[in-house]
Amino acid sequence: MPVGTQGTIKGLTNSQLEDIGCQIILGNTYHLALRPTSELLAEAGGLHKFMNWRRAMLTDSGGFQMVSLLHLADITEKGVTFQSPVDGKPMLLTPEESIQIQNRIGADIIMALDDVVKTTITGPRIEEAMYRTLRWIDRCIEAHGRPHDQNLFGIVQGGLDPVLRDICIKGLVDRNLPGYAIGGLAGGEDKDSFWRVVAQCTGSLPEDKPRYVMGVGYPLDVVVCSALGADMYDCVYPTRTARFGTALVPEGVLKLKQRAMADDTRPIDPTCPCMVCKNYSRAYIHCLVTKDAMGSQLLSYHNLYYMMQLSRDLHSSIVEGRFPKFVCDFLSKMFPEGNVPEWVCNAMEVAGIDISSCCTFSERVCNAKVAGIDISSDCTLSSSCGEHDSDNVSDKYDELKLKLERLRNNEDALRR
């Protein structure tokens, strides 16, 4: 879902969003309540009519602003009081008020107000936030005035603590909601912890209802989470990175501001059929991103097209029973030398997807661990560019094979 915080996707028109196949966008309850106000939106017939968007819409609850605007927020059992960034006045957002605002906005999917904390925080605050989220969901359900028109999703909290996550999952599932979100991630936690939380939540939430990982939008993360059973995602990444002159491509990212792009007459992605890749060169966009807003608009269009196509390809591969091949093809393009990050390999193993055909590097790491060889200092993993020092790895790998051969000839050593 592209993120349209205040009822617009930056740099794109609604017709362009329809052209690239966008079916649903996300709006921000907190910001829409401040400007143009939910009262005005209700008077206009809801946000769909106000912005002339004929497809689906989701609004978040305003809970994320407890993290992003923490310096302006005071959180209590009653709700969260923000200092408005518009006029400085205090604004109390309770579970009831959040739902009432979303009822007036009129989105097809609305989110319960949750108590959000960064996953990097430890201690009793995580437990407090999880239990408060469960108490607030009941207040949200009670306040929901349009249950037949709008689907209310609950949000699983609990930080990186599997026990707290389990408690929250059980509490939300017991309330039999239309859908469920996995919240509190993509906030600075390590990738190994990230995928494990997703796997735990998707494994326990109902399979016949949407499972939405909030704030996730990197292509690699979307593929991994889909393999683990997630269905929905949102993130500002495709459009935000476009404004910094970066394009999404199957190999990772392409930085159009770099000097090497100045005389490159190829399209951003020769395999992409989007309007930008059909009509403009890297050199042309390079000139624009350094001087003209049109550059970020063209890159936003391409990046969102890329994400929409990725989503369509994911969906069709699942429906047609060829998802494992899709994953291997995706990883082979992003990591052509086989240096798939270890966290991805671990996640795919749990998901039951064999990626050995495109993950030669992970096999080397695994064998290195058996032989007691540390090659991490010689290998630089990068999910964005897929580079590593192949010469150093090859030298270490030769050393590894010799040690493994000695180990195989010594049963006692193998047993230890």
Which of 115, 221, 234, 269 is the catalytic position?
Answer: 234
Q: In the block, which residue shows the tokens 């939405």?
A: 212
Q: 184: annotated binding-site residue?
A: yes
Secondary structure class of 338 (helix, strand, coil) = coil
Q: 157: annotated binding-site residue?
A: yes
Which of 60, 115, 221, 269 is the catalytic position?
Answer: 60
The first and second tokens of residue 163, run together, are 């026990």
Burial of residue 371 (CB within 10 Å: 0-12, 13-18, 19+) is middle
Contact 73, 126 (CB under 8 A): no
Q: 6: annotated binding-site residue?
A: no
Question: Of the candidates 252, 223, 255, 242, which has an alpha carbon nearest to the alpha carbon of residue 348?
Answer: 223
Contact 210, 177 (CB under 8 A): no
Q: 64: annotated binding-site residue?
A: yes
Catalytic annotation present for 138: no
Catalytic annotation present for 234: yes
Amino acid at 346: N
Give the strand pairing for 80-83 and 73-75.
antiparallel
Q: 63: annotated binding-site residue?
A: yes
Task: Collect all residues with Cβ–Cβ distance below 8 Å to 217 and sequence separation of at least 6.
Answer: 233, 234, 235, 236, 237, 238, 307
- Rounded Cα–Cα distance for residues 404 and 395 (Å): 14
- Catalytic positions are 60, 234
Annotated binding site for substrate: 60-64, 114, 157, 184
